Amino acid sequence: MFGRMSFVHGDPDRIDELVEFVTWTVKPATDCLGGNLGLGMCVDRSSGAALVMSVWTDEASLIASEAAVTQLRDDGAAVMRGIAVVERYETTLIDAVSPHHVGNVMRMIRMSCEPADLEEHTRWTRDNVLPVLRRVPGYLSHAVAVHRGTGRAVSMSTYRDGSDADIAYAATAPIRTAAVNRGISIDGVLQYEVALVGIRAGAPTIPEQRTIDVRAQDERLSAQL
């Protein structure tokens, strides 16, 4: 799957207007485009930041939709009296244990690495990050999306609420240190509230998921630090 992320920044007092615009104008327009798998939205009400993400079956569908969404994106930025910045990614890992709901919390970590190492880092994430996240109460899902040409990546973890997100962030501190030690640069951390749930992708599966010995995994991570 491929995703287009539109990061909108503007007047915090106009966030709800943007949510309505995306819900009643943008989503219906994108739902009918070929290869579309839906659209979701997250917001940071305190800063006036919003993330609108549409998902597509393949890169060709993503590219074909560009002309149809450009004006919608500009109109959304105008609603916020702000700007929109677009990023495009390929999804390489999805784990989900429960559906999302409006009001959940999504934490995004921006990363970068050597492009040639993306696949190996994704496997490492699958085997080391997911088992820890699954032990956190309130964990809902985790996804990794990458830009193969530049080595940029984002990880998106969604939780029941902010308290659960904070617990998970503390629990994964040793993993972040191990990630840096293996060549992954952590470039920023963002937190959003889920404002619109609308991605229609089916229940994900994780290929070749190994059975994890949690105690051995924790000892292995400690040895890397």
User: Where is average pLDDT lowest: 116-130, 162-176, 210-224?
Assistant: 210-224
Q: Is the pLDDT of residue 164 over 80?
A: yes
Q: List 8's β-bridge partners, or say none.
A: 50, 84
User: What is the CATH architecture assignment of 2-200+207-224?
Assistant: 2-Layer Sandwich (3.30)
For 174-186, how does the pLDDT look when each residue is reduced to its tens digit (9 = 90+)? 999 999 999 999 9
pLDDT attached to residue 200: 82
How many angstroms separate the CA atoms of 90 and 210, rounded?
23
SS3 180: helix
Residue environment code for 118-148, b if the CB has 16+ CB neighbours within 10 A, otherwise e: beebeebbbebbbbbbeebebbbbbbbbbbe
